[in-house]
Amino acid sequence: MDRSQKEKAVEDFKNIFNEAEAVIVAHYEGINADSINEFRAKTRSSDVTFRVTKNRLIKIALEDTPYTNISELFSGPTAITFSKDVVAAAKVTSDFAKENDNLIVIGGALKDKVLDLEGIKHLASLPSLSELQAKIIGLISAPARQIATILAIPAKQVVTVTKAYDGVKEEPAKMEASNEEASKEEPAKMEASNEEVPKEEPAKTEASNEEAPKEEIANKEASSEEANKD
């Protein structure tokens, strides 16, 4: 690689570090060409880029970029994956490293925030941007589906529910009317009973009082007649 090529390589990497939202660094010692090609294909399908690096040029390119603080990771046979999606690079690299022991994740960063292995593992467990977009679309379209389901309910079912609700309202009304009628009838019966008893009682007393003077007068007249005969 001549000087102009090296300068071009440094410029390309500098642009990568200025634009990438996430950079993951890995060792690839012992990995064969077929595995490298397989990994490249997986990164492309996830909108992630894989690049084998030249450590001396990378360290020059890192200067004056947000990723200056990961310069010490570049020793030995290193490669980087990077993306504008903060999750995608960590996810695709970690997943491939589980299947291929020759790819070893050693660190990374989100701009100026350095990620250790635990941080990368956590980042890889999160949904990627494309997965989040699918979930958001699902959340947005869910209410529309629910509304369509409600509108699709047959009118007969709506009428049935309405009648059932009206029946619930009518039942207390009937019970209330029955209680009111019973309350009205009870005092009326008691009043009628009370009126009949006083009417009969004075009548008997009056008849008894009328009969007593008549008998007494008759007895007196009989006594007077007997006295006159004597």
Does 12 share its domain with 63?
A: yes
Confidence of residue 115 (pLDDT cuts 50, 70, 90): very high
Query: How many structural domains does the chain have?
Result: 2
**Residue that finishes a domain, picked among 86, 110, 127:** 127
Give yes or no: residues 227 and 178 share one domain: yes
Q: Tell me, yes or no, whether 114 and 167 share the same domain.
A: no
pLDDT attached to residue 50: 95
176 and 115 in a common domain: no
Q: Percentage of residues in the chain with pLDDT exceeding 90?
A: 47
The last residue of a domain, from among 112, 127, 142: 127
Q: What is the pLDDT of residue 9?
A: 92
48 burial class (0-12, 13-18, 19+ CB within 10 angstroms)?
buried
- Residue 149 within a domain: no
165 in the same domain as 70: no
Q: Classify residue 110: in a domain, yes or no.
A: yes
In this structure, the answer to whether residues 25 and 115 fall within a common structural domain is yes
Q: Are 12 and 123 within one domain?
A: yes
Residue 135 lies in a domain: no
Instruction: Write down the pTM of the prediction.
Output: 0.57
* 161 and 67 co-located in one domain: no
Residues 110 and 169 in one domain: no
Does the residue 147 lie in any domain? no
**Residue 63 sits in the same domain as residue 14:** yes
Q: What is the per-residue pLDDT for 42?
A: 92
Determine, yes or no, domain membership for 219. yes
Whether residue 110 sits in one domain with residue 35? yes
Q: Is residue 118 part of a domain?
A: yes
Same domain, yes or no: 169 and 64: no
Q: Which domain holds residue 179?
A: 154-230
Residue 138 pLDDT more than 70?
no
Among 16-20, 37-41, 106-110, 195-199, the minimum mean pLDDT is found in: 195-199
In a domain, 136, yes or no: no
